[in-house]
Amino acid sequence: MNLTPLIAIHMTAALGAIALGPLALWARRGAAQRPKLHRAFGYAWVTLMVVTAASALFISGNKGPHFMGFGPIHLLIPVTFFMLYRAFVYLARRNIIGHRMTMQFLYLGACVVAGAFTLMPGRYLGHLVWTQVGLI
């Protein structure tokens, strides 16, 4: 496995989304809400998620079950695009609760859970991490 420019773009956008997500969510929590920060971090996070999902379209692995170059993890691509669309529809309809729940679910599923799967030993990032730690 090599670090290609495409994988570097994908990984950078994903790590940026993991870092910015909590900031966007935090800016709208509690009594001291920060709508300008929430909007800025939110748009940045959405942009990073779009880059992450779009770049994943062109990445194919050689391990596990695949169909035409796509593995099970690629199912997150249409889910991510749909959830982002749905979150903005909720905003347009002023359904803040629906928007909040959609974005929290998307962060949890696409960043936290999918990020945990990338740390599996057979995946590129997992191989890098576990090799450095000395477990592989």
pLDDT at residue number 125: 84
* Residue 3 structure tokens: 């670090």
pLDDT in tens, 10-57: 999 999 999 999 999 998 876 677 889 999 999 999 999 999 999 999
Average pLDDT, the chain: 89
pLDDT digits (tens, 9 = 90+) for 84-102: 999 999 999 999 999 999 9
Q: Which residue has the higher pLDDT, 72 or 114?
A: 114
* Position 12, amino acid: T
The predicted model scores a pTM of 0.87
Contact call for residues 55 and 9 (beta carbons, < 8 A): yes
Cβ partners under 8 Å of residue 96, min gap 6:
90
pLDDT value for 136: 72
Taking the alpha carbons of 64, 69, 72, 77 in that order, is the dihedral positive or negative?
positive
Beta carbons within 8 Å of 95's beta carbon, 6+ residues apart: none
Tokens representing residue 109 in the block:
């599923």
For residue 92, give both structure tokens.
């347009």
- Tokens 């079950």 locate to 65
DSSP label at 121? Answer: T
Specify the amino acid at residue 127.
H
CB atoms within 10 A of CB 54: 15
